[in-house]
Amino acid sequence: MKNFALIGAAGYIAPRHMQAIKDTGHRLVAAYDPNDSVGVIDSHFPEADFFTEFERFDRHVDKMRRANHNHRIDYVSICSPNYLHDSHMRFALRSGADAICEKPLVLNPWNIDGLKEIEQDTGRKVNTILQLRVHPAIIALRDKVRSGKHKTKHEVDLAYITSRGHWYLQSWKGDAKKSGGIATNIGVHFFDMLHFIFGDLQQNVVHHASDTKAAGFLEYEHARARWFLSVDVEDVPDAQRAAGQRTFRSITVDGEEIEFSGGFTDLHTRSYQEILAGRGYGLEENRCAITTVSEIRQAQPVGLQGDYHPFLL
Ligand code: NAD
């Protein structure tokens, strides 16, 4: 049985990590969050130690490292705000544990280089949650594309509208310095998925970028993709909005809708199973998606020209 520690235990995504640790037969022994709204721990690991101060958590983890072998932390799961991942992964590795870090792994590709050095120094590994890579429908599509029957590049349209209330722009998620902005925070899943299915990135054009929506065009080895992301309910198409829907997702490949709405519930557990079996996705697997979102953040939007997503009109 492996020992886990969890950083960012009071947040939205942390319970999925607690569930994944439980589902894979391991235990959470220590958790840290500056916010103490962590009653959810009782539903999973009531015995876990909890800290609201980093220094006390650090001291505890270090004490366990120096104690007998059974008490050591084997994995640190990281569910903190995006801009802190980098530092929290370094803490995990220096503490003699492997890291399991939420998306986006880091905000910029050069952060990956620093982490690689620490991996080499410590002999520990960074694993990431890229849960769409373990989704059966995505794996099937990748296999189909890689079987290479298609002569020209695939034409992809991707729209994802996930409405958020006014709180979003007041929280760290709405602060580009902390979250990387919408393309990073919400888009990184999809940009990693496009790279996973369609190969290396060749061109990256941004048509529009604001606090609540972003859109652009990406060309991959095997695809040309127009994308549109928004957290604004006004962008949900009329028909769906009239039916009370606040979320809209559509991904078409050569005009055909990719159906992958099912099979989302246990993807954290699936990711943990892969990581624990030594098949976790590491630093280099993240480089393409992190470079994509970093470039999108730096880009000057070109407006309505070229291959822009029709939702921009
Ligand atoms: P959240 O705001 O609900 O939770 C973040 C938690 O981190 C909060 O409890 C906060 O108190 C804590 N925190 C703040 N500063 C901290 C610090 N210095 N040290 C430790 N903890 C600190 O956000 P969330 O939605 O749970 O997102 C957490 C991470 O998970 C983000 O990286 C996000 O991108 C990612 N996420 C992934 C998915 C997915 O589908 N894989 C979905 C949502 C969020």
Characterize the bridge pairing of strands 98-101 and 213-220: unpaired
Count CA within 13 A, CB hemisphere, residue 309: 28
- Buried/exposed 165-201: b ≥16 CB within 10 Å, e otherwise: eeebeeeebbbbebbbbbbbbbbbbbbbbbbbbbbeb
Tokens 């999973």 map to which residue? 44
Closest ligand 1 atom to 13 CA? 26
pLDDT tens digits for the chain (313 residues)? Answer: 999 999 999 999 999 999 999 999 999 999 999 999 999 999 999 999 999 999 999 999 999 999 877 789 999 999 999 999 999 999 999 999 999 999 999 999 999 999 999 999 999 999 999 989 989 889 999 999 888 777 899 999 999 999 999 999 999 999 999 999 999 999 999 999 999 999 999 999 999 999 999 999 999 999 999 999 999 999 999 999 999 999 999 999 999 999 877 767 789 999 999 999 999 999 999 999 999 999 999 999 999 999 999 999 9
Amino acid at 243: A
Question: What's the CA gap between 60 and 52, in Å, rounded?
Answer: 12
Instruction: Give me the domains of the chain, ranges plus CATH numbers.
Output: 3-128 (3.40.50.720), 132-263+282-312 (3.30.360.10)
Among left, alpha and beta (phi > 0; psi -120 to 50; other), residue 278 is: left
6 Cα–ligand 1 center, Å: 11
12 Cα–ligand 1 center, Å: 7
ipTM computed for the complex: 0.99
Dihedral sign for Cα atoms in the order 284, 286, 292, 296: negative
Question: What's the CA gap between 284 and 75, in Å, rounded?
Answer: 19
- Residues having CB within 6 Å of any atom of ligand 1: 7-8, 10-13, 32-35, 79-82, 84, 102-103, 129, 131, 185
Closest ligand 1 atom to 37 CA? 9
Question: What's the CA gap between 237 and 161, in Å, rounded?
Answer: 9
Dihedral sign for Cα atoms in the order 176, 111, 93, 270: positive
Q: Are 21 and 32 in contact (CB under 8 A)?
A: no
